[in-house]
Amino acid sequence: MAQLARVDPKEVLRREDYLRENRRPRELRDPFTWPWPYRAAGTAVGLCVAASHMHNLWLRKPWHYALYARLALTATAGVIAFSLGNLRVNNYQTREAVTEHYKELHPNDFDAVNDIYGRPFANVLLPWYPKRTQYRRFDE
């Protein structure tokens, strides 16, 4: 059996921290580095602006047709999306806190999970014997 490539634990922690939310450096041009509330609000505002523009094109209206109502609806959609993003962040933080607290109370149950190399597939998977039509018995 092939040997596992061992990685330095500091490198594993560095990679895990880089992938965690709000650990990457924020850039204005990269929306994937924005916090969730701003990402949701930006998506909602962008979709509303695009939809209103497409609606104007479809009805052959000028770009400023019903501008104040559309600005109000776009701002409302942005505020609602921002609050839903905050709700999502709160939900995920609460779930993580509950999970970490449970792991602190029961450390023995998570020894196998904390092993980053895990078990080999031979110990995890059951053997599979295919039952195909060409292998049927002919004495029936």
How confident is the model over 74-108, as pLDDT tens digits?
Answer: 999 999 999 999 999 999 999 989 998 998 999 88
Tokens of residue 111, six digits = 């020894």
**Which one, of 21, 13, 2, 23, lies nearest residue 116 by Cα?**
13
Phi and psi based region of residue 118 (left: phi greater than 0; alpha: psi -120 to 50; beta: remaining): left
For a pLDDT cut of 90, what percent of the chain falls above it?
47
Virtual CA dihedral for 54, 58, 61, 63, nearest 10 degrees? 10
| 69 pLDDT more than 60 | yes
Residue 140 — pLDDT band, cuts 50, 70, 90? low
Measured over the CA atoms of residue 29, residue 35, residue 36 and residue 40, the dihedral's sign is: negative
Q: What is the pLDDT of residue 25?
A: 80
